[in-house]
Structures are given as structure tokens and as C-alpha cells.
Amino acid sequence: MAFTIAVDGPAASGKGTISKRLAQELGFAHLDTGLIYRAVGKRVLTGQEPLAAAQTLQAEHLEDDSLRTPEVALAASKVAVLSEVRAALTDFQRAFSRRDGGAVLDGRDIGTVICPEAEVKLFVTASAEARAERRFKELAGKGIETTFEEVFADIRARDERDMGRAEAPLKPAPDAVHIDTTDMSIEDAFAAAMARVRARQESA
Ligand code: CDP
């Protein structure tokens, strides 16, 4: 049976961690759609045309540690404004969302464009300062040299591009449950998400 959980939100809001935990707990498949845009962005950085890079994307392109760098994140947010690139990536994400056994997808437009029919929609946010602090620690932990100021500026620039674009802008679906993780532990954020899923499962 299909059951889709759509998790949207800005960079480093905690949506990836919540999504992974939900998928683990429920035995659902998980798709980090940001990784798809990052993989296309990376291919463009190496000289490909954005549309060709999206149309010829293979699963193996997602298995690349360098996709997590700030440069690739920036390149991802630039290709993500192109409607033909988004269109080329839609069918794969939709098919994934309705697979048997349930699916969790996290991104920017899952509840609004990819799966408006999702059984559960979450919109995960946190203050820009808290998100930059988390991302700075994450990058430092990976040995990527940067400063808090740089990470903060990158996140702000990406927020603006993601929210301001004409095509599939980052915004909550009208029926999304908001989770602000600024002052929440991962445990509490996960519990809030799980409570929503359980309520929906019981009402089905
Ligand atoms: O991990 P983080 O939240 O920093 O970023 P991400 O989820 O990996 O996404 C990287 C970029 O891809 C975002 O800044 C968006 O521009 C784009 N993206 C998108 O447009 N639509 C999605 N469903 C997912 C990501």
C-alpha cells in the first residue's frame, strides 16, 4: 500500500534527520530530493548543460560524498530555478512517492508540487542563525574549511533563491503541519513528526 510523507523546509532545518528517522521507524523508503538537485548541480559545475544533466541522471550519481559541499549546494539552487530541469526530475520523484510500502520524501516542493496528495505533510523550519550554526558544525565535522559567517551568508542566499523563484518556490502546503526546530532536540522534533503520522494512520 502507498503512504506518502512529504517533508519540506529550508536548508539545515532538520528535515533530513526527521525524514531518515521516520523512514527507519516506519520501514518506509526514503528519498532526499535535495541530493538529486545537488547531483545535477555538480554535473553542471563539471561543464554539462543543466537539462542534459537532469535527463541523463543515474542513481550512481547520487552516491558522491562531494555533493555535500557548499559549492554544490549553491550550484543545486541555481539549476533548481529552471522549470525544464524540475520537469525532467518530476516523474522519478512521483513514482518513488507512490511505491508500495510507503515513502518519505524531503525537499522544498514535495507537499506542494510533487505529492499534493501526500497523506502527511510536514514543514520543518528553524531560525536562520540556528540553521547556519548546525550546518557550520556539520561541515567542520567533515573537515570542510569555512566560517560561521560564510555559512550564514550561503544559507540566507539560498533561502532567498528557493523562496523567491517562480517555479515550485519553497513554501508550506496549506495543509502542512509546521515544526519549528529552533529550540527542539532531534528527539522532540521526531516525536512531533511521528505523532502526526500516527494520527493520520489511525484516521485512515
Ligand atoms: O541539505 P540542504 O537543506 O542544505 O539542501 P538540499 O535539500 O540538499 O537542497 C539543495 C538545493 O536543491 C536547495 O537549496 C534547492 O534549491 C534545491 N532543491 C529543490 O529545489 N527542490 C527540492 N525538492 C530539493 C532541493
pTM: 0.96
98, 16 Cβ separation under 8 angstroms: no
**What distance in Å separates the CA atoms of residue 115 and residue 2, rounded to the nearest whole number?**
12
Residue 6 bridge partners (DSSP): 105, 121
Q: Whose CA is nearest to atom 25 of ligand 1?
A: 34
Helix (H) or strand (E) holding 106: strand 103-107
Report the separation in Å between the CA atom of 33 and the middle of ligand 1, taken as the mean of its atom positions.
Answer: 7
49, 15 Cβ separation under 8 angstroms: no
**What distance in Å separates the CA atoms of residue 157 and residue 26, rounded to the nearest whole number?**
35
pLDDT at 12: 96
Residue 7: helix, strand or coil by DSSP?
Answer: strand
Amino acid (1-letter code) at residue 27: G
pLDDT at 204: 75
Report the separation in Å between the CA atom of 77 and the middle of ligand 1, taken as the mean of its atom positions.
Answer: 6
pLDDT per residue rounded down to tens, the chain (204 residues): 899 999 999 999 999 999 999 999 999 999 999 999 999 999 999 999 999 999 999 999 999 999 999 999 999 999 999 999 999 999 999 999 999 999 999 999 999 999 999 999 999 999 999 999 999 999 999 999 999 999 999 999 999 999 999 999 999 999 999 999 999 999 999 999 999 999 999 997
**CATH code reported for the domain at 4-203:** 3.40.50.300
**What distance in Å separates the CA atoms of residue 166 and residue 100, rounded to the nearest whole number?**
33
Q: Whose CA is nearest to atom 16 of ligand 1?
A: 77
Q: In 72-203, at which residue ranges do the beta strands (DSSP E only) sit?
A: 103-107, 120-125, 177-180
Tally of CB atoms within 10 A around 63: 10
* Beta strands 120-125; 4-8: pairing state: parallel
